[in-house]
Amino acid sequence: MELKTVSIGMPLLDESLMSGVPEGYTILLSGTPGSGTELFAKQFAAAGADNENVIYITSTERDEDILATMKSFGWNTNIKIVNIGAEYYHKVLEKELIISKYREEGIPTNEIFAPARKRKEKEVNFLTMITYEISKLKPPFRIVIDSLDFFLNNYERAKVISSLRTIKAHAQYYGGVVLVTMMRDVYDTHTQSGIEQLADIILEMEMLRTPKGFIRYLIIKKVRNHPEKAGIFKYDIYEKGIKIVK
């Protein structure tokens, strides 16, 4: 039986993989800062916008910045953005800002007797929240998580990996695809290998500085059951996005 695949949004890369990404697959994309992983994530999201339910989970950008970037490349923006960054700011950072102000200046007299918090307000677990969001997705779907770093930095590593496993299982069951971005070489090997084991495809983006400018490389590090597909490509950024060159 031939595998049903979906496009990654970059023809040459599709070709080098399995004529696209097989449904149910989880892709791990890591890269050095500035290499374009966020752009890759958006291009990947846009490639599914026509025919799939796309959910784009971001922890660093504002919705409008994501949409503006996508529009500037002429991509389809019919995606659902879940903005963990904004939520996080609202629920956690804002509270921390007030705390640091109080720590610096002391609590103003009129605030001393005000209740510190509504007792019923629960702590938000963003990890649970996105897992829940994803569980509601109707197939066919495409999930982008940009980036996993946010969760790795805020939650127990083992819990993050376990959530990722849940998300992967969900995608496998319903035939969706998942793209997860992550920073390179910053986590302990245990975490790193745990995540890499879950991924069916691992891509890496790298930049090399030369006297003539940057040379960008996209590395296919792993394709499950297809070690022969590993390889190094060059890529460039054109007006329509990232383009792989032979």
Applying CB under 8 A, which residues contact other proteins? Answer: 96, 98-100, 102-103, 106-107, 109, 111-113, 115-117
Q: Phi, psi (5° rounding) for residue 112?
A: -60, -40
Closest separation in Å from C-beta 122 to other proteins:
15
Closest separation in Å from C-beta 96 to other proteins:
7
Shorter beta-carbon distance to other proteins: residue 115 or 211:
115
DSSP 102: H
Return d(Cα 141, Cα 25) in angstroms, integer. Answer: 11
Shorter beta-carbon distance to other proteins: residue 12 or 92:
92
Closest separation in Å from C-beta 91 to other proteins:
15
How many Cα atoms within 13 Å fall on the side-chain side of residue 214? Answer: 13
Length of the chain measured in residues = 246
Q: Where are the alpha helices (DSSP H) in the chain?
A: 11-16, 37-48, 63-72, 84-88, 94-105, 109-112, 126-135, 148-154, 157-174, 189-198
Shorter beta-carbon distance to other proteins: residue 100 or 193:
100
Closest CA to 48 of 134, 136, 133, 142: 142
Closest separation in Å from C-beta 111 to other proteins:
7
Closest separation in Å from C-beta 152 to other proteins:
22
CA-based torsion, 118, 120, 123, 128: positive or negative: negative
Shorter beta-carbon distance to other proteins: residue 1 or 112:
112
Q: How many CB atoms lie within 10 A of CB 140?
A: 17
Shorter beta-carbon distance to other proteins: residue 102 or 132:
102
Exposed e or buried b per residue across 83-115, where buried means at least 16 C-beta atoms within 10 angstroms of its C-beta: bbbeebeeeeeeeeeeeeeeeeeeeeeeeeeee
Strand partners, 136: none
Shorter beta-carbon distance to other proteins: residue 1 or 116:
116
Closest separation in Å from C-beta 116 to other proteins:
4
